[in-house]
């Protein structure tokens, strides 16, 4: 799981923040597959899942005129994802088939700190809802009792996820959106 960080255009207004970076961290998800065959090579898929992950934001901040301090803010998330994708399948060759995926997802973060107030530690708060576009490629392997699939997908968030407050950690970021790469193993 990762973020795309767009810093504010004029960083000179915040003379103490030099660098804002997102540090990707691995996560995992577990879900079920609902598939509707539309045509011979087209399917509509709904794969609701529960995803667990963490993302880190690293801030380089100038303190006492010359000292650079690094702060890492961890953002833990537990998402309920509702992705809907179209699957375009190639013709089956023996027990193998390749396919492409494209669609979108709506996500709800169950661990969002956006509504919390009066905390001792300053958090980077993200909003509860996220909307993203998904694209990917996969391969089906037809085995004797089930179909095994390997997918590589990318999910790119469309909306700004950052909850604005008056801390140095949010004033230096213009837009914060999600970017997630998935490696999925499906059993059907």
* pLDDT values of the chain reduced to their tens digit, one per residue, 188 residues: 567 666 566 555 455 666 677 787 888 889 999 999 999 999 999 999 999 988 887 777 776 666 677 778 778 888 999 999 999 999 999 999 999 999 999 999 888 776 666 555 566 778 889 999 999 999 999 999 999 999 999 999 998 888 877 777 777 777 888 888 999 999 98
Question: Per the confidence metrics, is the pTM higher than 0.85?
Answer: no
Could you tell me if 48 and 30 are in contact, meaning their C-beta atoms sit under 8 angstroms apart?
no
Beta bridge partners of 98: 139
Determine how β-strand 96-109 pairs with β-strand 67-89. Answer: antiparallel
Q: What span, in angstroms and rounded, lies between the C-alpha atoms of 135 and 118? A: 40
Beta bridge partners of 42: 88
- Gyration radius from the chain CA atoms: 20
């Amino acid at each position: 799981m990762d973020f795309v960080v767009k810093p504010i255009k004029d960083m000179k207004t915040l003379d103490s923040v030099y660098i804002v970076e997102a540090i990707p961290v691995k996560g995992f998800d577990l879900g079920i597959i609902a598939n509707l065959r539309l045509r011979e090579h087209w399917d509509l898929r709904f794969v609701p899942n529960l995803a667990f992950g963490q993302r880190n934001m690293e801030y380089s901040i100038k303190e006492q005129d010359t000292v650079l301090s690094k702060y890492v803010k961890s953002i833990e998330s537990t998402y309920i994802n509702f992705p809907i994708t179209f699957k375009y399948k190639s013709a089956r060759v023996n027990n193998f088939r390749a396919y492409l995926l494209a669609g979108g997802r709506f996500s709800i973060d169950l661990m969002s700190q956006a509504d919390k107030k009066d905390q001792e530690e300053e958090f980077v708060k993200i909003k509860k809802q996220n909307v993203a576009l998904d694209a990917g490629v996969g391969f089906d392997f037809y085995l004797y009792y089930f179909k095994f699939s390997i997918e590589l997908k990318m999910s790119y968030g469309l909306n700004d996820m950052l909850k604005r407050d008056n801390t140095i950690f949010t004033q230096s970021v213009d837009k914060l959106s999600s970017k997630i790469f998935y490696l999925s193993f499906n059993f059907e």
